[in-house]
Structure 1
Amino acid sequence: MDTGKQEASRQTKIIVGLILAVWALVTIAPFLWMILSSFKSNAEISQMSQSILPHHWTLQNYKDLFISGNFGVYLKNTLIITGFSFIGLLLNAMAGYGFAKFKFKGRGVLFIAVLATMMIPGQVTMIPVYLILNQAHLTNTLTGIILPSLVGAFSIFLFRQFMSNISDSIIEAARLDGASEWYIFWHIILPISKPVLAVQGILTFIGGWNSFLWPLIIANDQKYYTLSVGLQLLQGQHTSDYGLQMAGSSFMVIPIVIIFLIFQKYILQGFNIQAEK
């Protein structure tokens, strides 16, 4: 009887595995076609009969991205915005640590106020934030693009939940040994928080790399555009140049896929945050 159950379980696993493999192939097929098409000429892509692999591999589409598509400037702006987003990540970690381990008057009310901002759609606050930045003469600047996205309620909440489960005895022992609060945060709290830092790092990178709507609103000059805005501009200016569009789309997608594959093991660890008190 046990042998029959084991055989049935094995067959079920095989069937489920085959279904998942087919579904994964269907999911990845458009991305694979997009990446391979970026190495084709526009004439080859426009042919009625299509092949998955290029007949003549070419890097001309990627060269045109940086020569005529101005993607070098867009890449620089995106990297600057993404880099400052990681500074914001540290600010969120500090705020989460403060809410988790420090007792001060109004902590509960202030934390609820932070959580309440998560219920407000970002589109609602765009006009007030734009008007404030306009008064501060920060529109059409990288500073105006960076500032509103430095901190976020969800990130603070995630850090607070994770750091609440760190034992207070570790922190008290460090204080008794004469460690400063900054030393405790940098050398004890952050190393323990590697899983949630990895998850938030992935989300921060994706958010900065894909930033589109706010840079489009705040920037009037193309020299401040990001890759996402540049890709949309590229699709409007080169409507029939499919090879160039495939190269631009691949250039946007590939770094995110690489980052995700490297740090995917931390995702479940970081989101599996449960209160143990």
Structure 2
Amino acid sequence: MKRLLPAIAVNGLLVIAAILALAPLLWMVSVSFMRPGEADSFPPPLLPHAPSLAAYRELFARQGIGRNFANSLFLASVATALSLTFNVMAGYAFAKLRFAGRDRVFQLLLGALVIPGQVAMIPLFLMLKTLGLVNNFGGVLVPAAAGVFGIFLVRQYALSIPDELLEAARVDGASELRIFRSIVLPVLGPIMVTLATFTFLATWNDFMWPLIVLSDDRLYTLPIALASLSREHVQDAELMMAGAVVTVAPVLLLFVVLQRFYIRGLLAGSVKG
């Protein structure tokens, strides 16, 4: 019994912490199904008296949130595809290919990780403006195509690939492209899922950069649309919560579905090299 007490205490604290963490999310979902004005009563109700989809109908019919949802889905999907393409190739190259200055270049990239992203926003914006990529989706996608963290993540995982396996494939006459496609990519599967999850979540939830580079409200993503909604309907709690549910639900579902691969990729990559 004495051995069970510490385990019961720890698990009890974890359950309490989980309830505290989930309570705001659960109440958000509950309020989104309330009728207009119901959440403003005192004390605030925990559950809707008569569940209604009025807030969601208002959100999609009048506020045009469906277009913002499509914008976010498009940007997050394309950014994830671009990130996988460039980061995986670069990470593998830094891990297994020999070229002049490889280690020095990688050290410079790692040094860039300590620089706050906000510092680079002004020069990046000016560069994109020169290229004519301001106020279009290209301005959001180009910076997301490759990142130091993604390269580092893939590189650390790719170090686990045996050099002997790659050399044997080269001796057999396989080209570097064939080696990358047939040997490297299957091995990098878990870390690619992890990187894809990171990128999709980061792009979907990003607020600051799309707000800077996009000025046309037809191009707004969900976080920007939700912020605009809060300014216009700050008193409409049900509508605001419905917008928050629409924003949070897809990424939460994605994480739940992919969490097994996500955690496996993180744990495997943390012990490589």
Instruction: Place the TM-score, normalised by the shorter chain, in its bin.
Output: over 0.9
Q: Aligned partners of 2:88 and 2:241: how far apart in 1? A: 37
Q: 2:185 aligns with which of 190, 198, 210?
A: 190
CA shift for structure 1 position 17? 0.9
Q: 2:120 aligns with which of 117, 125, 149?
A: 125
Mapping for residues 1-277 of structure 1, pairs under 5 Å: 7-86=1-80, 87-272=82-267, 273-274=269-270
Contact 2:157 2:272 in 1 (8 A): no
Number of residues paired by the alignment? 271
Q: Aligned partners of 1:40 and 1:186: how far apart in 2? A: 52
Higher mean Cα deviation, 21-30 or 85-94? 85-94
| Identity in percent | 37
- Taking a change above 3 Å as real, the CA distance of residues 274 and 79 of structure 1, as seen in their structure-2 partners, is closer
Q: Aligned partners of 1:72 and 1:191: how far apart in 2? A: 36
Letter of the 1:228 counterpart: P
Q: Aligned partners of 2:181 and 2:208: how far apart in 1? A: 34
Length-normalised TM-score, structure 1: 0.93
2:215 match: secondary structure: coil
CA shift for structure 1 position 274? 4.7
CA shift for structure 1 position 123? 0.8
Residue deviations 1:139-164, cap 9 Å, x none? 11111121112111011001001101
- Taking a change above 3 Å as real, the CA distance of residues 164 and 38 of structure 1, as seen in their structure-2 partners, is same
CA shift for structure 1 position 89? 2.1
Q: Aligned partners of 1:276 and 1:111: how far apart in 2? A: 16
Q: Aligned partners of 1:205 and 1:124: how far apart in 2? A: 23
Letter of the 2:58 counterpart: D
Q: Aligned partners of 1:19 and 1:121: how far apart in 2? A: 35
Q: Aligned partners of 2:110 and 2:63: how far apart in 1? A: 41
Contact 1:37 1:243 in 2 (8 A): yes
CA shift for structure 1 position 83? 1.5
2:3 match: secondary structure: helix
RMSD: 1.5
CA shift for structure 1 position 186? 2.3
Q: Aligned partners of 2:45 and 2:180: how far apart in 1? A: 55
**Which runs of 5 or more residues in structure 2 are unaligned?**
none
Q: Aligned partners of 1:43 and 1:276: how far apart in 2? A: 55
Residue deviations 1:41-63, cap 9 Å, x none? 12211111333221111112112
CA shift for structure 1 position 80? 1.6
CA shift for structure 1 position 95? 0.2
Q: Aligned partners of 2:169 and 2:271: how far apart in 1? A: 23
Residue deviations 1:204-258, cap 9 Å, x none? 1111111211110111110111100000001011111111100011111112221
1:195 match: secondary structure: helix
